[in-house]
Amino acid sequence: MAPLTHTGESVVYSNPDILGGEPVFVRTRVPVASLFEWLADGETLTDWLDSFPGVTREQALRVLEDAKAFTVANARTSRLAC
């Protein structure tokens, strides 16, 4: 799977040799899913970043922004189909 990109540097990467292909933050072995799991459990972004110092705030925010954009775009597409 190719890295996900926004405008510029990739922040997420998937490689079958790293955690079985689970998407991770670039230059780390930190699964992207862990960010969403921590936030869903009520933890703060700051707490998550403190626990995974290899990930920058900018990387985490980019993933959250991309997830938001995907969700909003998908919801608009679904609404138009109704």
Statement: the pTM of the whole predicted model exceeds 0.85: no
pLDDT score at 75? 86
pLDDT score at 77? 64
| Residue 39, C-beta contacts closer than 8 angstroms, at least 6 positions apart | 45, 48
Q: What is the 3-state secondary structure (H, E, C) of the chain?
A: CCCECCCCCCCEECCCCCHHHCCEECCCCCEHHHHHHHHHCCCCHHHHHHHCCCCCHHHHHHHHHHHHHHHHHHHHHHHHHC
Range of the domain at 71: 12-81
> Residue 25: which CATH number?
1.10.10.10
pLDDT tens digits, residue range 27-72?
A: 999 999 999 999 999 999 999 999 999 999 999 999 999 999 999 9
30 occurs within a structural domain: yes
3 occurs within a structural domain: no
- The more confident residue out of 10 and 80 is 10
33 occurs within a structural domain: yes
